[in-house]
């Protein structure tokens, strides 16, 4: 067992584990250096490069979790969806019927993901937990209908309100395939998987509950590893989030972590939730904010220390170090 896995199992630990979303990414000079030589999608498709990028933040900062380098859209490319990245995904917007009719994920076409995980599992120190991930059906649907990221996700919200059989079919297609994709990752060495529902929070509570949480639950059900469900901006629907049935829940910075924890459930672990903007300030402020965060969960097993969303690419390295040191020193 690792620190992260013990924490997920609500076991008492000597200190709290820490890792951050997007830790393998653009704030790291060694990432930017590799990306000068490899385009984003090529880097993901080459297990040597992808595993190296996964390991970069572990070597530099000693995070307790190593999240594999890929994108939530990677398995959709292996279901025949063409896209580019600039820096986020860009694709031809699809209809619900086109999404429902996509071919099922060809596991041979994501063999590079399995190989990346095998390499990472071999190379990381035993105490570091290897983390796999997928996008949740609502969030993948948002990109497929819109063709890119957006502020409003009106095509998603419209389709969710209409609630047609075609919506059910499109969500079912994404649900079964992301379940298979995560099961493959666990087989290849992922010890923990996180489901990213990054844009679900744009939905009203009733649709989150009747659609997003149900789909997320079905993706995670029966997987042979602990799971984390991360859906930022869902403070309006924390009380029912436990229905997803994950081992742990990631919370953003908007709600105090202890308040979110009580709302989501007591027999679960929780991950978060420092505002990534705090890492853009200065080491002294970061230490104070970390101390306040840790006070809020003091004496309660099951807290994975992290940010409320991905680390910003302009984050100074010394601030990341101050963040991790503050967590470590606090025990």
Closest CA to 175 of 126, 228, 212, 133: 212
CB of 87 to ligand 1CP, least distance (A): 4
312 part of the active site: no
Q: Nearest approach, Cβ of 24 to ligand 1CP (angstroms)?
A: 3
Tell me which residue of 154, 140, 273, 130 sits closest to 219, measured CA to CA. 140
Position of minimal CB gap to ligand 1CP: 88
Could you confirm whether 22 is annotated as catalytic? yes
Shortest distance in whole angstroms from residue 89 CB to ligand 1CP: 6
Residue 211 burial (C-beta neighbours within 10 Å; 0-12, 13-18, 19+): buried
Please pick, among 71, 197, 218, 252, the residue that the annotation labels catalytic: 71
Does the CA dihedral 150-151-153-154 come out positive or negative? negative
Q: Give the Cα separation of 26 and 22 in Å (integer).
A: 8
232, 233, 236, 239 alpha-carbon torsion, rounded to 10°? 10
| Residue 109: active-site member | no
Residues of the chain by 3-state class (helix, strand, coil), percent to 5? 50, 10, 35
Residues of the shown chain interacting with ligand 1CP in the complex, contacts defined by CB under 6 A: 21-26, 35, 40, 67, 69, 71-72, 85, 87-89, 133, 149, 196, 198, 309-310
Residue 143 is a catalytic residue: yes
Which C-beta is closer to ligand 1CP: that of 149 or that of 265? 149
**Pairing assessment for the beta strands 84-85 and 89-90 based on DSSP bridges:** antiparallel
Placement of tokens 């990472």 in the chain: 120
Looking at the Cβ atoms of 21 and 105, the one nearer to ligand 1CP is 21
Determine which one of 16, 27, 45, 143 is catalytic: 143
> What is the nearest approach in angstroms of ligand 1CP to the Cβ of residue 199?
7
- Nearest to ligand 1CP of 15, 26 (CB atom): 26
> Please, which residue, 41 or 296, has the CB nearer to ligand 1CP?
41
* 45 in catalytic set: no
Catalytic residue set: 22, 26, 35, 71, 143
């Amino acid at each position: 067992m690792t620190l992260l896995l013990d924490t997920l199992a609500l076991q008492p630990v000597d200190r709290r584990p820490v890792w951050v979303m997007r830790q393998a990414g653009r704030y790291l000079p060694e990432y930017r250096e590799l990306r000068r030589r490899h385009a984003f999608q090529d880097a993901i498709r080459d297990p040597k490069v992808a595993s190296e990028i996964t390991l970069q933040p572990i070597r530099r900062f000693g995070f307790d979790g190593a999240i594999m380098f890929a994108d939530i859209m990677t398995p959709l490319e292996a279901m025949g969806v063409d896209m580019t990245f600039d820096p986020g995904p860009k694709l031809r917007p699809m209809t619900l019927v086109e999404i429902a009719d996509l071919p099922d994920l060809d596991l041979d076409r994501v063999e590079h993901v399995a190989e990346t995980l095998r390499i990472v599992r071999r190379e990381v120190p035993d105490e570091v937990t290897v983390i796999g991930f997928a996008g949740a059906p609502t969030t993948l649907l948002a990109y497929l209908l819109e063709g890119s990221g957006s502020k409003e996700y009106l095509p998603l919200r419209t389709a969710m309100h209409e609630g047609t059989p075609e919506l059910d079919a499109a969500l079912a297609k994404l649900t079964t395939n992301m379940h298979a994709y995560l099961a493959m990752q666990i087989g290849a060495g992922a010890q923990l998987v996180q489901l990213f529902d990054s844009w679900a929070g744009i939905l009203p509570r009733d649709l989150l509950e009747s659609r997003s949480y149900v789909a997320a639950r079905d993706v995670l059900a029966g997987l042979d590893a602990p799971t984390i469900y991360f859906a930022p901006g869902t403070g309006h629907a924390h009380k029912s989030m436990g229905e997803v049935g994950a081992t742990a829940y990631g919370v953003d910075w908007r709600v105090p972590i202890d308040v979110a924890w009580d709302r989501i459930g007591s027999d679960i672990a929780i991950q978060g939730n420092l505002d990534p903007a705090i890492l853009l300030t200065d080491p002294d402020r970061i230490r104070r904010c970390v101390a306040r965060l840790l006070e809020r969960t003091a004496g309660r097993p099951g807290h994975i220390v992290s940010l409320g969303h991905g680390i910003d690419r302009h984050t100074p390295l010394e601030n990341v170090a101050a963040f991790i040191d503050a967590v470590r020193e606090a025990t």
